[in-house]
Chains A and B, each alone.
Chain A
Amino acid sequence: MNWITNYVRPRINSIFSRREIPENLWTKCDECGTMLFHRELSDNLNVCTNCSHHMAITPRARFHALFDAGVFTEVQVPEPIPDPLHFRDQKRYPDRVKAAQKATGEKDAMLVAEGEIGRTPIVAAAQDFSFMGGSMGMYVGNAIIAAAERAVERGRPLILFSAAGGARMQEGILSLMQMPRTTVAVQMLKEAGLPYIVVLTHPTTGGVTASYAMLGDVHIAEPNALIGFAGARVIEQTIREKLPDGFQRAEYLLEHGMLDRVTNRNDLREELVTITRMLMGLPPAVSGDLPAPDPDQTDQAEAADSK
């Protein structure tokens, strides 16, 4: 009996307790409180099916939904030297990075990929708010430069999804220097005559807004995304008055002329295809279940690709 109670039973219990019960089957919408089933939510690109509240989405999930058949090739980003300032606050900076890498499975706060959307070749870059607040340091700067260089090399438009609290303080002045560095990247695209489309997602603030996120040919924002330079709390303390409802939200910026459009995440892909195809001088996208593409169009796509 002893052998059974002390050995066999715990083993059996541990096998059963290890049975796969996915942890987050349900997500509560932080806007309307509706409980959303995980599959339904991810099918809807993390947009609440009840109130259309846009929740965060990882760059990988976004690319999976963005690129045709979810196929994309990652563009390698040159890795900067780690912890350039030997920065230490209450934690060591390398420890913070490691924790973020472990939590997200990503190297840093930006993912760059190339592929096709609506059979339109593009380069895309997406910022990851879950990685240290999406903060812009040397890696993010290198990622944007790599994205621009690849776009120029292949003659493709660049679509960038921004999401960041601002610069990464732990890289001090070097994080600030990503403002001019990424601006040079945008200039490369402009000089090559390639479209640069920015999709501003929640939140995009600080030095990120004051550089590459505000230099696009077209600015599209996701609904209700917080977009601004200074934080609302800092502004309230400075001017000592309450800020209006919706201040620094996408719709507010649209009214103030800083954005071209505010578009639901589920409509973004089609809109991006439409816009990039027009800017690239390509014929309208074909949609629906069509027979195999005729050779003519394949040629055109290839011609655009190798331009």
Chain B
Amino acid sequence: MTHYLDFERPLAEIEGKAEELRAMARTNEEMDIEQEAAALDRKASDILKDLYKALTPWRKCQVARHPDRPHCKDYIEALFTEYTPLAGDRSFGDDHAVMGGLARFNDRPVVVIGHEKGNDTQSRIARNFGMARPEGYRKAIRLMDMADRFGLPVVSLVDTPGAYPGKGAEERGQSEAIARSTEKCLQISVPLVSVIIGEGGSGGAVAFATGDRLAMLEHSVYSVISPEGCASILWKDAEKMREAAEALRLTAQDLIKLGVADRVIPEPLGGAHRDSDAAITSVGSMIETLLTELSGLSGEDLVAQRRRKFLTMGARGLAA
């Protein structure tokens, strides 16, 4: 069953009608509905085009959080071979909100790390909705360290509402873990390519996304705070999330203007969830392009360029 977002209601009605017609035709063979159904299909596709032509920032947040959107696990399964998950932070536990390990990307061995949100109730709970605890970041640090020592490029797939706000997470040093993970990103002398595939939620995203290149899917977002959080603080009303999303400039398109993101990866019409395979393929070819761009650079150059990138970031505001 398709999961429709609130602004997709007109689309849901038309697609629902077409579906009903076809269901009726299946039970009653004399009915000839094809023409009518095809007309409805055309109408639906027009509506879809129209809706997605210029998504507002808040709608983009909704698409970025769409439950059927391909998640980290889907990308790893489709784009990488010999994926060998590696677990644990060697000091407390293994965080299932963060997955990662060794894998081959177009034959070259790499380390892949990402947030996984899960795709049904059970896996969402197991993955803690993609909200990592300190152990997740410490696992990532360990994997990046390994990549650095063995000269393997790192690919990170970012998709998190944010780091987990929990009692244990605080006690075990959530802040320190995030800070160290960001520090590790800036230290390693191997290429680090990040893709925001859904939500880039604040510090929890920075911890993996501080790389040589940052690509974002067309309808993904990356923000210092969720629009709801921002609205409740600055507007004193969480319902003002539309205004907050607008003001925060969190879309891939704005982040290019600000010089925070380097590339935008086009999504299939109607968002990545409407054609997961196509979205995954596009992400794959972007990763290949970016890794190739970086392959000629020495470790020293990579680190120096990465640091310069962040030191000069934001100097020109929206004109970057």
Contact = CB atoms under 8 A, between A and B. Distances in A.
A84 B318 contact: yes
B182 interface: yes
B199 to A, nearest CB: 13
A183 B183 contact: yes
Interface stretch (B110-118, B173-181, B271-279, B280-288): B173-181
Which of B166, B175, B258 lies at the interface centre, i.e. has the most chain A CB atoms within 10 A of its CB?
Answer: B175
Given A207-B202, A210-B203, A173 B258 contact: yes
A75 interface: no
Given A80-B314, A80-B315, A85-B318, A183 B234 contact: no
A258 B176 contact: yes
B224 A176 contact: yes
A171 B310 CA distance: 16
Interface in A248-269: 248, 256-258
Interface in B153-202: 163-167, 169-176, 178-180, 182-183, 185-187, 202
B165 A234 contact: yes
B260 A177 contact: yes
Contacts of B223: 172-173, 176
Contact of A256 (B171, B182, B225): B171
A58 interface: no
A85 B223 CA distance: 13
Contacts of A228: 170, 174-175
Nearest to B163: A229
Interface residues of B, number: 51
A48 interface: no
Interface string A119-158: 0000000000000000000100100010000000000000
A167 interface: yes
B183 A229 contact: no
Contacts of A235: 165-167, 170
Contacts of B244: 89
A176 B318 contact: no
Given A81-B317, A230-B165, A180 B186 contact: yes
Interface stretch (B8-16, B61-69, B245-253): B245-253
A87 B183 contact: no
A117 interface: no
Given A229-B163, A247-B170, A184 B310 contact: yes
A180 B203 CA distance: 10
B243 interface: yes
A287 interface: no
Contact of B174 (A86, A145, A169, A230): A230
B26 interface: no
A184 B306 CA distance: 10
Contact of A207 (B165, B203, B234, B315): B203
Contacts, number: 175
Given A88-B247, A172-B250, A186-B183, A213 B316 contact: no
Given A138-B314, A184-B186, A172 B224 contact: yes
B233 interface: yes
A187 interface: yes
B183 A85 contact: no
A6 B24 CA distance: 95
Contact of B260 (A174, A229, A247): A174
B266 to A, nearest CB: 21
Which of B176, B233, B315 lies at the interface centre, i.e. has the most chain A CB atoms within 10 A of its CB?
Answer: B176
B215 to A, nearest CB: 15
A214 B310 contact: no
Which of A145, A169, A234, A243 lies at the interface centre, i.e. has the most chain B CB atoms within 10 A of its CB?
Answer: A169
B76 interface: no
B247 A176 contact: no
B311 interface: yes
A243 B243 CA distance: 33
Contacts of A248: 170
B75 interface: no
A38 interface: no
A238 B311 contact: no
A179 interface: yes
Nearest to B308: A184
A261 B187 CA distance: 28
9 contacts: A83-B317, A169-B233, A179-B206, A180-B310, A184-B307, A211-B179, A215-B179, A243-B167, A247-B170
Given A171-B224, A207-B224, 14 more contacts: A81-B316, A84-B314, A85-B248, A172-B247, A173-B248, A173-B255, A177-B313, A210-B182, A211-B179, A229-B165, A231-B165, A244-B167, A256-B173, A257-B173
